[in-house]
Amino acid sequence: MSRSQRLLDLLQLLRCHKYPVSAEHLSQKLCVSVRTIYRDISTLQSQGAEIEGEAGLGYILKPSFTLPPLMFTKEELEVLLLGANWVAKQANGEFSDISNNAIAKISAVLPRDHSIKHDEDVIRVASIIEVPELTINLSSIRETIEQRYKTTIEYVDGKQNTSSRVIWPILIGLFQHHYVLVAWCETRKAFRNFRLDRISTWSPLAEHYPSSRQALLKKWQQIEGINENGIRY
Is the pLDDT at 122 greater than 90, yes or no? no
- Check: CB of residue 181 under 8 Å from CB of residue 216: no
Q: Are 83 and 26 in the same domain? A: no
Q: Are 218 and 169 in the same domain? A: yes
Q: Are 34 and 108 in the same domain? A: no
Q: Based on the structure, what is the number of domains in the chain?
A: 3
**Which of 35, 40, 38 has its CA nearest to residue 1?**
40
Residues contacting 168, CB < 8 A, separation 6+: 148, 150, 151, 183, 184, 186, 209, 211, 216
Task: For residue 203, tell me if it sits in a domain.
Answer: yes
DSSP-derived secondary structure letter, 232 = B
CATH label of the domain that carries residue 39: 1.10.10.10
* Domain span holding position 17: 3-61
Q: What is the rounded average pLDDT for all residues in the chain?
A: 81
Mean of the pLDDT values across residues 133-152? 89
Task: For residue 170, tell me if it sits in a domain.
Answer: yes
- How does pLDDT run across 6-47, given as a tens digit for each residue? 888 898 888 888 788 999 999 999 999 999 999 999 998 888
Mean of the pLDDT values across residues 85-114? 67
Q: What is the pLDDT of residue 76?
A: 74
Is the pLDDT at 181 greater than 80, yes or no? yes
